[in-house]
């Protein structure tokens, strides 16, 4: 069996499963953010007309993180957040991360860095980028509010069809200023935005084995942009190291692997040794071109951060490029660390000071500009270059603007020049 099949079989109490089987796997972790207010409404509806008190099946397995609209941008959002606070307190949900500088952040960073996600587990979230957590060897996928209400009540997901798996085998060494973001953009351009619909992307090869957990999170995060149900990296010693040293996990860690004779729908080899920095052009994430093809395009705003590229190594490469330089005149640069922990680490290492001195604005951890609800909306006709994960019309708040996607290195170099720039060709 593939890794996804193994996890789903075990979670469903079955010896084996195959693509097309319908299962009801038990859930190890159920995550929501501000949309938990919608989940609460549906959850309470389940218990109407019964004599049963509305109780979550296991409060220890539920996590709620405020990240999409932080701080609240409207009375409506603030009232919904108040509702969620009262609910999680009444249900004794201890994995609750409010709008705080010490424990807050974007959900897809908060979960791994706190050791909430373990290999071989089933993780569901009311967010499409829940696929991120496959970087730690979990079968992680997004569900809707009604489905999550059912999970809160039952502890399992109903009617999950076992997806087929595409095996991605990556070899070669990345060149300078080329990394995981460029790899996943290249893959999405190759597969198209629908090429992995209702399938799993399972990442293998020496390049993946040498890739940090941060880089693996990038790959799995954006697997959904190719339509994938989940992205998975078979857990290894790097997974165990991250969980022990960075996430503080004390208990057992199982490095569950796919079978050697696992059946894959397709095998795609990729050699990154000649891969150039990649850019996803408006208005689809699979409209991918080498940076050279769009170099010189004027940009008005640069965004570095999000659940895709807001981790410490992302900020490090951007700070390295920006140190001693200035953001171009008439160009705005916004930096969003992925969590309060990363914010503090970047502060200690001096990265945030570099950004501020360069003319960038450092924001609180959150999803603001990526979602387009507040913080960094674009004006009519403006162009943004962003390390986020989507670029459809209106994604950053204005359908009359354009969004290009890239790596932190390309974003930082472009901010200095005021136009899309190959970071390898930045004047010294």
CATH number of the domain residue 404 falls in: 3.30.499.10
Whether omega before 177 lies within 30 degrees of 0, making that bond cis, reads no
Regarding whether 79 and 28 lie in a shared domain, the answer is yes
Would residue 296 count as lying in a domain?
yes
Rounded distance between C-alpha atoms, residue 70 and residue 180, angstroms: 28
Question: Domain range for residue 355?
Answer: 278-423
Would residue 311 count as lying in a domain?
yes
Regarding whether 282 and 262 lie in a shared domain, the answer is no
**Neighbouring residues of 409: CB distance < 8 A, sequence distance ≥ 6:** 177, 178, 179, 277, 317, 318, 321, 423
Regarding whether 221 and 201 lie in a shared domain, the answer is yes
Whether omega before 71 lies within 30 degrees of 0, making that bond cis, reads yes
Rounded distance between C-alpha atoms, residue 417 and residue 411, angstroms: 10
Would residue 428 count as lying in a domain?
no
Regarding whether 355 and 249 lie in a shared domain, the answer is no
Residue 387 C-alpha from the chain's centroid: 11
Give the pairing of strands 22-23 and 160-161. antiparallel
Give me the tens of pLDDT residue by residue for the chain, a chain 428 residues long.
Answer: 999 999 999 999 999 999 999 999 999 999 999 999 999 999 999 999 898 999 999 999 999 999 999 999 999 999 999 999 999 999 999 999 999 999 999 999 999 999 999 999 999 999 999 999 999 999 999 999 999 999 999 999 999 999 999 999 999 999 999 999 999 999 999 999 999 999 999 999 999 999 999 999 999 999 999 999 999 999 999 999 999 999 999 999 999 999 999 999 999 999 999 999 999 999 999 999 999 999 999 999 999 999 999 999 999 999 999 999 999 999 999 999 999 999 999 999 999 999 999 999 999 999 988 888 888 899 999 999 999 999 988 888 899 999 999 999 999 999 999 999 999 999 87
Q: How far is CA 424 from CA 22, 334, 340, 369, 410, in A?
A: 48, 22, 31, 27, 9
Regarding whether 329 and 254 lie in a shared domain, the answer is no
Q: What is the DSSP letter of 273?
A: G
Regarding whether 303 and 154 lie in a shared domain, the answer is no
Inter-residue contact 336 to 365 (CB < 8 Å): yes
Give the pairing of strands 266-271 and 361-362. unpaired
Residues listed for the chain = 428
Regarding whether 326 and 221 lie in a shared domain, the answer is no
Regarding whether 305 and 252 lie in a shared domain, the answer is no
Would residue 133 count as lying in a domain?
yes
Would residue 58 count as lying in a domain?
yes
Regarding whether 365 and 254 lie in a shared domain, the answer is no
String of b and e for 381-420 (b: at least 16 CB within 10 Å)?
ebbbbbbbbbbeeebbbbeebbbbbbbbbbbbbbbbbbbb
Regarding whether 337 and 251 lie in a shared domain, the answer is no
Would residue 61 count as lying in a domain?
yes
Q: Say what the pLDDT of residue 60 is.
A: 97
Rounded distance between C-alpha atoms, residue 148 and residue 218, angstroms: 25
Q: Which of 63, 219, 57 is nearest to 127 (CA)?
A: 63
Inter-residue contact 315 to 337 (CB < 8 Å): yes
Q: How far is CA 381 from CA 228, 262, 325, 386, 399, in A?
A: 32, 49, 27, 16, 9
Would residue 94 count as lying in a domain?
yes
Q: How far is CA 79 from CA 74, 75, 84, in A?
A: 9, 6, 9
Tokens matching residue 248: 């503080």
Handedness of CA 139, 140, 145, 148 (dihedral sign): positive
Tokens matching residue 232: 């998975």
Would residue 15 count as lying in a domain?
yes
Rounded distance between C-alpha atoms, residue 332 and residue 376, angstroms: 9
Tokens matching residue 375: 């913080």
Does the pTM surpass 0.85? The reply is yes
Residue 271 C-alpha from the chain's centroid: 24
Total domain count, the chain = 2
Regarding whether 402 and 253 lie in a shared domain, the answer is no
Regarding whether 155 and 291 lie in a shared domain, the answer is no
């Amino acid at each position: 069996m593939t890794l996804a099949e193994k996890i789903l079989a075990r979670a469903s109490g079955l010896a084996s499963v195959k693509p097309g089987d319908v299962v009801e796997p038990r859930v190890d972790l159920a995550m929501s953010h501000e949309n938990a207010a919608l989940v609460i409404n549906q959850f309470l509806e389940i218990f109407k007309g019964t004599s049963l008190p509305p109780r979550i099946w296991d409060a220890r397995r539920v996590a709620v993180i405020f990240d999409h609209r932080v701080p609240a941008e409207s009375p409506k959002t603030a009232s919904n957040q108040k509702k969620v606070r009262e609910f999680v307190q009444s249900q004794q949900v201890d994995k609750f991360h409010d709008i705080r500088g010490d424990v807050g952040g974007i959900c897809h960073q908060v979960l791994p860095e706190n050791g909430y996600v373990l290999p071989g587990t089933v993780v569901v979230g009311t967010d499409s980028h829940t696929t991120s957590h496959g970087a730690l060897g979990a079968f992680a996928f997004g569900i809707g509010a009604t489905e999550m209400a059912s999970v809160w009540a039952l502890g399992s997901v109903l009617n999950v069809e076992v997806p087929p798996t595409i095996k991605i085998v990556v070899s070669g060494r990345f060149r300078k200023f080329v990394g995981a973001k460029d790899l996943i953009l290249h893959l999405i351009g190759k597969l198209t935005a629908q090429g992995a619909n209702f399938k799993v992307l399972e990442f293998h090869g020496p390049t993946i084995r040498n890739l940090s957990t941060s880089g693996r999170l990038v790959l799995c995060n954006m697997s959904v942009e190719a339509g994938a149900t989940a992205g998975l990296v078979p857990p290894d010693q790097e997974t165990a190291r991250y969980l022990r040293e960075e996430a503080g996990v004390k208990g057992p860690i199982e490095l569950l692997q796919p079978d050697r004779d696992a059946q894959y729908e397709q095998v795609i080899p990729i050699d990154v040794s000649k891969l150039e920095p990649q850019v996803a052009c408006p208005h689809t994430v699979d409209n991918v071109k080498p940076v050279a093809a769009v170099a010189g395009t004027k940009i008005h705003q640069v965004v570095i951060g999000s659940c895709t590229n807001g981790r410490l190594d992302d900020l490090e490469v951007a700070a390295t490029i920006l140190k001693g330089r200035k953001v171009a005149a008439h160009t705005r640069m916004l930096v969003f660390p992925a969590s309060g922990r990363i914010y503090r680490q970047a502060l200690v290492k001096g990265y945030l000071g570099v950004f501020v001195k360069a003319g960038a604005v450092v924001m609180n951890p959150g999803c603001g500009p990526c979602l387009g609800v507040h913080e960094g909306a674009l004006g009519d006709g403006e162009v943004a270059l962003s390390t986020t994960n989507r670029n459809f019309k209106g994604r950053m708040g204005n359908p009359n603007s354009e969004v290009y996607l890239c790596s932190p290195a390309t974003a930082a170099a472009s901010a200095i020049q005021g136009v899309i720039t190959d970071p390898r060709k930045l004047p010294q």
